[in-house]
Amino acid sequence: MQLTIPQPAAATRERSLAGRTALVTGSTSGIGLGIAEALAEQGAQLLLNGFGDAESIMRTRDRLAMEHNVEVAYSGADLSCPEAIAEMMAYARDVLGPVDILVNNAGIQHVAPIADFPTAKWDAILAINLSSAFHTIRAVLPEMVERGFGRIVNVASAHGLVASPFKCAYVAAKHGVVGLTKTVALEAAVSGVTCNAICPGYVYTPLVEKQIEEQARAHNIPPERVVSDILLQSQPNKRFATVEEIGALTAFLAGPGGASITGAALAVDGGWTAH
Ligand code: NAD
């Protein structure tokens, strides 16, 4: 005899992040948007952040709110500027209440040999990819510790664990993010606050699309060869990770199952860093 187990309707099924608030930096595009989507799907109220076309950002905000029945706010703060970050953190608190889940995801890239690497690009990459996480964590951690709950997820990179040539600022910043993650995890360990880094290999997003175009021009080869011979050359499973996969891992870390995972640098890289 076959047993039919009754399942609650999707709309009434308990969502693992219901009642939580989440701030995701750089969530107007790519991985950050995938993470925002996964957190909203589990019931978290959201503050989105990032650049882009204003109308398209408002459409994304409204769609997330409607589809997942959650509050969604937006801040266009420039994360290279500590004062703008402070304003964003205050705004998040005003509109959503204390932040339970902080995802530091915003990032930029520049590829050049170190001798030609523009100083302004070095400064911008360090500010956006690394220092912004210091400023946001610094703003939310005391309150998380006081309330006995918090989840901090820093989107680092496989380049937080290993290096590649021509990416000095990015590799330095992402190694820094992994170090910051471990330090915060230790400082907060007994408080119910966890802090982890996700280290993706290549994920197909606008950031990578731009790299494909640039490398195709630089090497004078078609984009398909940049993908097979350069980008996925180090990624043993020979496919891009997806924003949905990174979103699902973030939602897991933020939920009850993630309570004992802290200080980890979790590779989502198809085996790249197993080499
Ligand atoms: P993306 O370009 O699609 O998104 C980057 C986001 O950051 C956008 O929302 C953008 O508006 C925002 N942003 C950029 N500068 C900002 C600033 N000054 N202030 C506020 N927001 C700003 O890129 P992505 O591929 O989704 O990358 C997201 C994160 O994942 C980055 O930290 C990146 O280093 C990391 N990562 C990406 C890959 C990949 O293959 N795509 C791999 C490993 C790690």
The structural domain count of the chain equals: 1
- C-alpha 108/C-alpha 51 separation (Å) is 12
DSSP label of 203: B
Q: Which residues contact 254 (CB under 8 A, 6 or more apart)?
A: 16, 17, 20, 22, 39, 42, 44, 100, 101, 151, 153
* Each residue's pLDDT tens digit, 106-141: 999 999 999 999 999 999 999 999 999 999 999 999
- C-alpha 231/C-alpha 167 separation (Å) is 13
- C-alpha 221/C-alpha 228 separation (Å) is 11
Q: Is the pLDDT of residue 7 over 70?
A: no
∠ CA 189-155-51, nearest 5°, is 130
pTM: 0.95
Percent of the chain with pLDDT over 70: 95
* Each residue's pLDDT tens digit, 17-69: 999 999 999 999 999 999 999 999 999 999 999 999 999 999 999 999 999 99
In a domain, residue 224? The reply is no
70 CA distance to ligand 1 middle (Å): 24
In a domain, residue 165? The reply is yes
Identify the domain containing residue 28 by its residue range. 2-9+17-201+241-266
Angle between helices 243-254 and 30-41 (to 10 degrees): 50
In a domain, residue 228? The reply is no
For residue 51, which phi and psi values (nearest 5 degrees)?
Answer: -100, 170
Mutate to test the pocket of ligand 1, among 33, 87, 105 (most ligand atoms within 8 A of CB): 105
In a domain, residue 79? The reply is yes
36 CA distance to ligand 1 middle (Å): 13
Write out the E strands in the chain: 21-24, 45-49, 72-75, 101-104, 150-155, 193-200, 265-268
Do 232 and 238 meet the contact criterion of CB atoms below 8 Å apart? Answer: yes
Q: Among 108, 117, 103, which residue's Cα sits nearest to residue 34?
A: 103
9-18, 37-46, 78-87, 187-196 — which is least confidently predicted?
Answer: 9-18
Q: Which residues contact 211 (CB under 8 A, 6 or more apart)?
A: 109, 111, 226, 231
In a domain, residue 217? The reply is no
- C-alpha 190/C-alpha 197 separation (Å) is 19
Mean pLDDT of the chain: 95
In a domain, residue 46? The reply is yes
Give the distance, in angstroms, between the CA of residue 203 and the centroid of all CA atoms in the same chain: 12
In a domain, residue 250? The reply is yes
Q: Among 25, 19, 38, which residue's Cα sits nearest to residue 177?
A: 25
Ligand 1 pocket list (CB less than 6 A):
26-32, 49-52, 78-80, 105-108, 128-129, 155, 157, 200, 202-203, 205-208
Give the distance, in angstroms, between the CA of residue 148 and the centroid of all CA atoms in the same chain: 23
In a domain, residue 156? The reply is yes
> Which tokens sit at 32?
């950050």
The letter for the amino acid at 47 is: L
Q: Which residues contact 230 (CB under 8 A, 6 or more apart)?
A: 215, 219
Ligand 1 atom nearest to 84, measured from its CA: 19
Residue 43 sits in a domain of what CATH number? 3.40.50.720
* Each residue's pLDDT tens digit, 202-221: 999 998 999 899 889 989 99
Residue of 67 and 4 predicted with greater confidence: 67
